[in-house]
Structure formats: C-alpha cells, structure tokens
A and B are shown apart, each in its own frame.
Chain A
C-alpha cells in the first residue's frame, strides 16, 4: 500500500509484569482505510489498542498518530488527540450512572456547545444506526452484552472521530445485527473517510471489510497483506488461522508444561495447585 500512514507503530516492545507481550511490532495503518488486526486469543490485541490510545506506555518503540508521538505528548495534548479518536471497548465500558441516551450524548456534551435539540437529533441518529433508538431510556444494567456493545459503538462514533479503534465489535451479536454492524463499519469508513482499526476473531466478517490485515502471534507480526493474499498465504501458521483449523503450528494452549505430566503430578501431590 502506498497511502499515507495515519498511525505508525515502530519497533514496539511491551512487557506485562515479566511476560513479553510484544517483541518488536511494526505497522503502518493507512489513512481512510480499514485495517484488521487478528491473532489468537491472549496475543495482546487489546493491549495493542491501549498502546495506540496512550493508555499504556511501551518499554521501547514509538506509536505515531498523524505524526505525533503518542507517548511523548503532555497529558493535555494527549487528551486533545483523543478527541479525534473513538474506541470501542471489548466490555462496552458504558457509564453506569447514565442511561443509554446520555451515554451517547456524553462526548457531544463535553466537547461541543451544540444546542440541546441538535444533540438530541445526533444521538437518535447514532442510536438508529445501531438499531437501538427504542432503547434510549434503558440503563446499561438493563442491556444485554451485545446491546451494550452496540451502544458503546454509537458513543464511540458520536463525535465523528478520524480514527476508530474497534475491539471485538462482533462478539455476542446475532447474525442480523452482525451484518448490520459490518455494513455500519464499512459505511463509516467509506462515507466519512475514517481510519479504522478492527480487532476481531470473526475471520469471515473481518476479511470481508478489511483493506489490509495484520496477523500477530507470539509478540510479532507473523503475516500482513490484503485479505486475498492472506487467503492463499504460504505460511502454514497463517492458513491455519485464516481457515480456523484446530491442528497446526499455532498452539491453542497458553504456555504450560506437558499435560500428561501435569496430571500425574497432581495425582502424586493429591490435589492443590502448585
């Protein structure tokens, strides 16, 4: 791809209490496109989004957004930059003391001086696009997991950000709302020229909307390319993941001692964790 990168990640290293999560990640995320980041569970996709958003600080390496080094900005400048970003959290992370309407209105209220009728229209528009206009008076506690994530999506796009980070947007959605969300993400990206980063396990949906895909595993980028090129990738690890095969070079298990000896140990020690 020859587009100007909007987000650049250079040689990123990050450790979580002794566990090396990233060991030199490089990415160039082009402006106005949908970039997917995929990888086995627990490889650090959420962590990567938090590094991009400046929630976590890397051990070394840089993250540049629109030319600004996220981790060298002052607190104030970082918050300014974040107004241009939207993030959909894996858990939704709605404000529990506000109802659905106020959750979506929150970014508009704090960052704009729009009159109340306009805020109302904008909020209803966003809620309509995720199919939850009728749920506006519910509190977050009254929503299902999938609904909460859709409200969170409406909130994330409330300010029409330039960059959106989606952490697992499709989890917990039925086939219909899944289709709607896929369409929504595609439309947001095309109509508004948003730069989107999608983290997801739903290979089919993700490959159908992504312009470019990074596959990370074991702290490194193991493959990258357009969805087409990954589909026919030579690396067995890549085709195992893309085609969702259980057996192959990518381990399903978190690093652990041999299963057989673990069980024998347990029998001899008669219970209790080591």
Chain B
C-alpha cells in the first residue's frame, strides 16, 4: 500500500519537475526570442547562420542526394511491377517534400548543429563566461542565445529546401540516367502532381516548426545544464534525444493535420 503511494508520489514529483522545466524553457524562449534588431545583432546573427547553417550544408546535401537516389531505386522496383514507372518523379518529389526532407534534415541538424550549440553554451556557462557577461551588464539571453535561436530558425528551412532539390536530382540520376525512365515523364508527372501550396508550403511549415523546436531544445539545454563536464555531456545527449523524438512526434501530428484530409 505504502509502496503504491510512494511510487505515485514519485510520478507526481516527476510530473512537477517536468512541468517546471517546461515552464522555465517557455520563459527562457520568451525572454530570448525578443531580439531588438540592430547592426551589432545582425552581425552576431550572420556569424551564427554561418556556424549553424552553412557548416551543416555539406552533410545535409550529401544525405539528400543519397536519400533521393535510394528512393528512386526502391520506388522503381515497385512501380515497374505495375508498369507505372512513369510516376517515379511524382513519388520521389512527394516523399521528399512532404516527409523526408523536413524530417531527415531536422534530425541531421539536431545532431550536427544542435549538439554543438548545447556544448558551446554549456561550456560558456561552466567557465563563468555567461556570468561575467551578466556582470558586465550584457544579457547573455540577448547576446548569446537570441542570435543562435534565430540563426537555427532561419537556417533549417533553407537546408530543407536544399535537401529536397538535391534529393529530386538524385532521383533523376538513378531513375532517368541509370534505370532509363523517360526523362519527360519524370519531370512532367512531378509537375502535374506536386501542389505548391499543399506540398512545398506544408513541407516548409513543418521545417519551420522543427527548426524552432530543435534550436530551442539545444540552446535551452545548454543554458540550463549543470556546469560540469559531466553535465555538458549529458545535456548534449539530451539535446539529440529530445529533439529527435520531438521532431518525429510532431511530424506525425502535423502530417495528420496537413495531409489527413487529402485523398
């Protein structure tokens, strides 16, 4: 009996802790997202776009190419059984735009940029750089966190678009150049079936949501961690785990909302 109550209490405490840290994360987001635009702010932001976005470009594009090629190969072997290999372009484009590009790019982004953000901010905290910045009278939420948050928010959607473009090109290489699907039908089927608003637009909305969530998790984990070397390694792991789960979970929800009604 007491055992049951104890475990109930433990779950309750866990719930309280979770909602408390969610609350802290929310306040944190609200305080750091309001960045007053200034020339200095723009400079810091561009610097972070380079670190967060440009440096992730290679891994995202290469992955996009391979995923597009694999999609075409797998899709072809199925479609050809029904004599429908003309629809290969449509299949590759829709899978990429609706699902694979936003999700895979976000997962790669969490591993490449998110973990780096957490470790960087965490190390700044552990070496008292954030505290000394506060004592100089500069708010680290504005100076350190905001540029990184906005850089992530802008970079991931652009990376996602790059992922799709390269993926479609990879599909073309395998499908048309290698397996001999008629080039005209690859492109025209794609053009006829992809709706700019429903497919491209929704894909971008997805990636905006993922960008916010992944970057938010990454910077918050860095800012909130226990300032020791163990704390930094734990927080970096948490960033990758939490953001991957959040991306996959949110993807399901967003897919239901966006495409659940499509037939």
A residues adjacent to B (C-beta < 8 A)? 50, 53, 55, 75, 79-80, 82-83, 85-87, 89, 91, 93-96, 106-107, 110-111, 152, 155
Contacts and interface: CB of A to CB of B under 8 A. Distances in A.
B128 A89 contact: yes
Interface stretch (B135-143, B194-202, B234-242): B135-143
Interface in B104-157: 123-124, 127-129, 131-139, 143
A94 B133 CA distance: 9
28 contacts: A50-B131, A55-B131, A55-B134, A55-B135, A79-B134, A79-B137, A80-B137, A82-B134, A82-B135, A83-B137, A85-B135, A86-B135, A87-B135, A89-B128, A91-B127, A93-B127, A93-B131, A95-B129, A95-B132, A96-B123, A96-B127, A96-B129, A107-B136, A107-B137, A110-B40, A110-B136, A110-B138, A110-B143
A106 B136 contact: yes
Contact of A89 (B124, B131, B143): B131
Nearest to A155: B136
B42 to A, nearest CB: 15
Contacts of B40: 110
A83 B133 CA distance: 11
Contacts of A53: 134-135
B178 to A, nearest CB: 47
Contacts, number: 53
A156 to B, nearest CB: 8
Contacts of A86: 135
Nearest to B123: A96
A111 B138 CA distance: 9
Given A95-B133, A110-B138, 7 more contacts: A55-B134, A79-B138, A80-B137, A82-B134, A91-B127, A91-B128, A155-B136
Interface string B83-117: 00000000000000000000000000000000000
A147 to B, nearest CB: 16
Nearest to B132: A93
Nearest to B143: A110
Q: Which 3 A-B pairs have the closest CB atoms?
A: A93-B132, A93-B128, A83-B137
B137 A111 contact: yes
Contacts of A91: 127-128
Nearest to A53: B135
Contacts of B132: 87, 89, 93-95, 152
A79 B134 CA distance: 7
A91 B138 CA distance: 19
A107 to B, nearest CB: 5
Contacts of B136: 82-83, 106-107, 110, 155
A82 B129 contact: no
A106 B135 CA distance: 12
B51 to A, nearest CB: 11
Residue with the greatest number of chain A CB neighbours at <10 A, chosen from B123, B128, B129, B135? B135
Contacts of B131: 50, 55, 89, 93
Contacts of B143: 110
A105 to B, nearest CB: 12
Contacts of A111: 137
Contacts of B123: 96
A101 B134 CA distance: 20
B129 A93 contact: yes
A238 to B, nearest CB: 31
A153 to B, nearest CB: 12
A80 B40 CA distance: 19
B128 A82 contact: no
B244 to A, nearest CB: 28
